[in-house]
Structure 1
Amino acid sequence: MKAVSVEEMRGLERVAMESGISERELMRKAGRALGMAIGRQYPDQIAAVAYLGKGHNAGDALIALGVLRDEFGFEVGVRAGYPVAEMADLTREQWMELGLDCMLEEGFEKDFPAVPLMLDGLLGIGAKGALREPLAGLAREMRRLRDEAGAVVLAVDLPSGVDPDSGEIHEGAVVADRTYMIGSAKAGLLKAGAANGVGSLAVVAVEGLAGAGSGMEMVAPQCCGYGKTRRDYDFHKGKAGRVGIVAGSREFSGAAVMSALGAVRAGGGLVTVYARTESCDAIRGRLPLEVMLKACDNPAVVLDERLDAVVVGPGLGKMDDLFETGLMRLISETEVPMVIDADGLNLVSRKGMELSGRHVVTPHPGEFARLVPELDGVEREEAAVKFVSKTEAVLLLKGARTVIAKARVELRINATGTPAMSNGGQGDLLSGVIGALLGGGMDRLDAASLGAWLCGCAAELSESEKGEPTTATDVAGYLGLALRAWRRGER
């Protein structure tokens, strides 16, 4: 989904209205879609409170509140910074239609049956700078209830006080757990610097407001066609792809296991781990039963194997000269798509190896700094663009906002995931998932994008079901449901 600037979003709204869609109709569409998205995302909640400013963002929140009450059975209420008489005409109209007797007063939470969801409708995308009173006071109240009572904050289009173009988080801004961007993704909210303000990101589709911006796009199932085709009924394991994984050591046997598990769960047809003889015993007893294990002290022999994709690097640890030389040959001479992760990346950095159009590299920030030290300190998005301008490799730069980049293609940002997955093994799992997608014939950029989305979505599903933390093993168990969500466009 193409991300848009505020100016581009305003242009989309003008075009929609010039085509005959009234401002009132746009608000109703947006508010209803927002309410349905929230109700489906939070089926176990029973209460919601909208925090309102004067503008149309508040109108969207009021309509959503009505949907939550009438179609999902929520108890609802409103906190507002201004009297109804001072609100925009359309917003005042939505308040009248909602039909509540009065606004809530401070301390309202004591009278609610449960800690409510809090909808941030204080400001829209046209606002600039830090919040001022009385809205700043409402933002403080939302933060207090989030921090002290465990309330979940849902931002309508953007968290109030976060700049939708730059991603700057102004002092006193609302801190959202999830931001529902209306119509199109907002470019600034996708940036890594905005992550702590916006939380998890979702787009609420509204007819006529789909973006056509430039420079950045959000990985989203509603607009991405790859990964949607279902398998033919006579499909078999040979068609699903043969994936080779060069990973693991006696010290880090779990890395090979997690990578293999990711490849199996993501649909790899035949998955084989190639590990040094000395580490096979440590790995063998923990591998999924579906995975084959071959002793391999010289990775160059993998070049002669019949494979559709290769993953190298997870948990390799310290390598002797024979293994290191063979791994360098495998990386340099591969004729099939290859994911290079972890110690594979460290080898590439240390030896100054050139990357090619066969490679997908998946560094975390530390590995990226070693790979391209000259880009250390450069903003993530800019650094990714500069990196791929000098190579044909695909880059997946891990982080709260994973960046996927390829030369001459708009930057992609993945918005799934949760802080609950901040633990070991997640990157190993991801490398196996991408390997399986590549083995199945998917384009490198699409495989990296979908792999990141699936792992993040699976983590969200796991956290919702089991709470936090969610381990890499937990995430693997939800990959099938994540793929179903991708195919159905459910997130």
Structure 2
Amino acid sequence: MLRAHTVEQVRAAEADLLARLPQGALMQRAAYGLAHAVLDLLGGGYGRRVLLLVGPGHNGGDALYAGVVLARRGARVEAWLLADSVHEDGLAAFRAVGGRVAPAGSAHDGFDVVIDGILGIGGRPGLRPDAVAALEAVAGVPVVAVDVPSGVDVDTGEIAGPHVVADLTVTFGTHKGCHLLDPAALACGAVDLVDIGLDLPPAPIEALQPMDVAALLPRPALDGHKYSRGVVGVRAGSAAYPGAGLLSVAGASCGLAGMVRYDGDEVVLRQVRAAHPEVVGPGRVQAWVVGSGSDDAAQPALSAALADAVPVVVDADALAFADLARGRDAVLTPHAGELARMLGAQRSVIEASPLEHARRAAQEYDAVVLLKGRRTVIAAPDGAVRVTTTGTPWLATAGAGDVLGGLIGALLASGLCPFDAASVGSWLHGAAATLAAQQGPFVAGDVAAALPALLATLTDP
């Protein structure tokens, strides 16, 4: 499990470790990890030209000590000091190995990499004008951020004003919220985690990894049958939007549940049976998927599903009536526009602070909320959060959400709790899209078609 801790948690863990280590040892661990990540990026140090953007405090000290390591490996390292007071010992060590200190924005013959040591995890969002000017002077040069890209909100992933856009972020001890949550995650580039020996408490934000998904996936019992494996029902699609019903069924028919039932428009039912002959008609189920393309039938379809007192996925048209599912075993699956309507907010505000609004919606509706996006956020009413890091830009295609809803429904029917079903389903959805993209651009049905091959890599024969 990839875990993201808060600034407060990290500082407490660092203070505990510092009390047990010789002075300066923790910074040296971070600096060596940073320097070696830069060496890997550059393919070596000899003759490379490195610029350090040095701010106040420990983050600037990490950059200076990393510059010492790089200089010893033959790099030409220059530092621009962007604060009146920087880490004194680090600066002395940097000068001692021949590091050059120059005014910010000085003329130069080009750099191979810029190390962003302007602000650390204690920095406020945004950058001062002198830092912005320094970054503009080296525009186009690859940037390695120290711990976090300077100028982003570390815990929430929000952005307010100018900030560093890194090609690589080297972080220490644990991931932070900004490494997982958009919009800041877009500014991080690749993220390299350096273990510095922190003893950390449980994290408020998690991201599933393949081993976690494999451990959570349902597997048939030796004496199992189609009913014991779970039956998922789909109430989706309409004469106006038959494709939504087909795609919801396609997601539900991934093989994780023992049976799929379709209960909806007769026109859609005929198309479903032609495409998925294993799908049967109405009957008892262990979970419902409701809303995709349901049009005017969304409210009665959701009411009927809730009357069965089984877990339900509330998607698309049914989200307008999500208050009916308040306090139930439900997964609500809005995109930013739909969540904006649910919360009475602007879409741009939702997109600027997805963590805050996913958590708020989960509390207000007393249900699991899956806020779709490049980095999908899954929030539970108790405050637990998971972020999906799988996927590809090609997944931004019509009908992909319908497939996701059906997939989550199958996981609910097979016995996963709403929080696990939503986070596992979202991870699988993104990973299947990545698999489908190996053949080029794709449509939503290709994501559903890729699920069996993906699941084969995660489950025992």
**Aligned partners of 1:173 and 1:374: how far apart in 2?**
25
Residue number in structure 2 paired with 1:297: none
**Aligned partners of 1:484 and 1:210: how far apart in 2?**
36
Residue number in structure 1 paired with 2:150: 160
**Aligned partners of 2:182 and 2:77: how far apart in 1?**
36
Aligned pairs for 1:447-458 within 5 A: 447-458=421-432
Residue number in structure 1 paired with 2:7: 6
Say which of 355, 362, 373 aligns to 2:333: 362
Q: 1:155-176 CA distances to partner (integer Å, 9 max, x unpaired)?
A: 5532233232454536542324
Pair 75,364 (structure 1): closer, same or farther in 2 beyond 3 Å: farther
> Does residue 95 of the first structure (1) align with residue 70 of the second (2)?
yes
Task: Work out whether residues 234 and 263 of structure 2, in 8 Å CA contact, stay in contact via their aligned partners in 1.
Answer: yes
Code of the residue aligned with 1:130 in structure 2: it is L
SS at match of 1:454: helix
**Aligned partners of 1:331 and 1:191: how far apart in 2?**
33
**Aligned partners of 1:87 and 1:369: how far apart in 2?**
41
Q: 1:434-455 CA distances to partner (integer Å, 9 max, x unpaired)?
A: 1121122111111112222232
Per the TM alignment, residue 339 of structure 1 is displaced from its structure 2 partner at its CA by 0.7
**Aligned partners of 1:121 and 1:375: how far apart in 2?**
33
**Aligned partners of 1:135 and 1:372: how far apart in 2?**
35
Code of the residue aligned with 1:396 in structure 2: it is L
**Aligned partners of 2:419 and 2:413: how far apart in 1?**
13
**Aligned partners of 2:47 and 2:253: how far apart in 1?**
45
SS at match of 1:353: helix
Unaligned runs of 5+ in 1: 31-55, 110-117, 146-150, 295-301
Code of the residue aligned with 1:125 in structure 2: it is I
Residue number in structure 1 paired with 2:101: none
Residue number in structure 1 paired with 2:231: 242
SS at match of 2:295: coil
Task: Work out whether residues 217 and 411 of structure 1, in 8 Å CA contact, stay in contact via their aligned partners in 2.
Answer: yes
Code of the residue aligned with 1:442 in structure 2: it is L
> Does residue 406 of the first structure (1) align with residue 380 of the second (2)?
yes
Aligned residue pairs, count: 418
- Give the TM-score of the pair, scaled to structure 1: 0.69
Say which of 242, 259, 263 aligns to 1:253: 242
Say which of 276, 279, 285 aligns to 1:292: 279
Say which of 436, 444, 451 aligns to 1:472: 444
Code of the residue aligned with 1:371 in structure 2: it is M
Task: Work out whether residues 159 and 197 of structure 1, in 8 Å CA contact, stay in contact via their aligned partners in 2.
Answer: yes
**Aligned partners of 1:76 and 1:318: how far apart in 2?**
68
**Aligned partners of 2:262 and 2:357: how far apart in 1?**
33
Task: Work out whether residues 154 and 176 of structure 1, in 8 Å CA contact, stay in contact via their aligned partners in 2.
Answer: yes
Aligned pairs for 1:303-342 within 5 A: 305-319=283-297, 325=300, 327-342=301-316
Code of the residue aligned with 1:314 in structure 2: it is S
Q: CA RMSD in A?
A: 4.3
**Aligned partners of 2:233 and 2:127: how far apart in 1?**
52
Q: 1:51-80 CA distances to partner (integer Å, 9 max, x unpaired)?
A: xxxxx4xx533212444677xx99995531
Unaligned runs of 5+ in 2: 55-60, 79-107
Pair 177,101 (structure 1): closer, same or farther in 2 beyond 3 Å: closer
Pair 306,14 (structure 1): closer, same or farther in 2 beyond 3 Å: same
Task: Work out whether residues 218 and 415 of structure 2, in 8 Å CA contact, stay in contact via their aligned partners in 1.
Answer: no
Residue number in structure 1 paired with 2:34: 61
Task: Work out whether residues 46 and 75 of structure 2, in 8 Å CA contact, stay in contact via their aligned partners in 1.
Answer: no
Pair 232,264 (structure 1): closer, same or farther in 2 beyond 3 Å: closer
**Aligned partners of 1:175 and 1:417: how far apart in 2?**
21
Residue number in structure 2 paired with 1:204: 193
SS at match of 2:268: helix
**Aligned partners of 1:451 and 1:210: how far apart in 2?**
31
**Aligned partners of 2:433 and 2:170: how far apart in 1?**
19
Aligned pairs for 1:62-461 within 5 A: 62-67=35-40, 77-81=48-52, 90-96=65-71, 99-100=73-74, 102=76, 121-123=116-118, 124-128=120-124, 129-130=126-127, 136-138=133-135, 141=138, 144=140, 155=145, 157-165=147-155, 167-169=157-159, 171-176=161-166, 181-198=171-188, 204=193, 206=195, 208-209=197-198, 211-212=200-201, 216-221=204-209, 227-228=215-216, 231=219, 234=222, 238=226, 239-265=228-254, 267-285=256-274, 287-288=275-276, 291-294=278-281, 302=282, 305-319=283-297, 325=300, 327-346=301-320, 348=321, 353-373=324-344, 379-460=353-434
Pair 191,252 (structure 1): closer, same or farther in 2 beyond 3 Å: same
Code of the residue aligned with 2:419 in structure 1: it is L
Task: Work out whether residues 340 and 362 of structure 1, in 8 Å CA contact, stay in contact via their aligned partners in 2.
Answer: yes
Task: Work out whether residues 243 and 308 of structure 1, in 8 Å CA contact, stay in contact via their aligned partners in 2.
Answer: yes
Code of the residue aligned with 2:447 in structure 1: it is V
Task: Work out whether residues 190 and 413 of structure 1, in 8 Å CA contact, stay in contact via their aligned partners in 2.
Answer: yes
**Aligned partners of 1:75 and 1:271: how far apart in 2?**
62
Per the TM alignment, residue 431 of structure 1 is displaced from its structure 2 partner at its CA by 0.6
Q: 1:296-328 CA distances to partner (integer Å, 9 max, x unpaired)?
A: xxxxxx4xx232222111122344xxx864x24
Pair 78,241 (structure 1): closer, same or farther in 2 beyond 3 Å: farther
Task: Work out whether residues 218 and 415 of structure 1, in 8 Å CA contact, stay in contact via their aligned partners in 2.
Answer: no
Task: Work out whether residues 287 and 409 of structure 2, in 8 Å CA contact, stay in contact via their aligned partners in 1.
Answer: yes
**Aligned partners of 1:396 and 1:67: how far apart in 2?**
37
Per the TM alignment, residue 130 of structure 1 is displaced from its structure 2 partner at its CA by 1.1
Pair 243,222 (structure 1): closer, same or farther in 2 beyond 3 Å: closer
Q: 1:222-250 CA distances to partner (integer Å, 9 max, x unpaired)?
A: 89688446746837562542222122234
Per the TM alignment, residue 340 of structure 1 is displaced from its structure 2 partner at its CA by 1.2
Code of the residue aligned with 2:371 in structure 1: it is L
Pair 410,236 (structure 1): closer, same or farther in 2 beyond 3 Å: same
Task: Work out whether residues 311 and 435 of structure 1, in 8 Å CA contact, stay in contact via their aligned partners in 2.
Answer: yes
Code of the residue aligned with 2:324 in structure 1: it is M
Task: Work out whether residues 139 and 172 of structure 1, in 8 Å CA contact, stay in contact via their aligned partners in 2.
Answer: no
SS at match of 2:324: coil
Residue number in structure 1 paired with 2:86: none
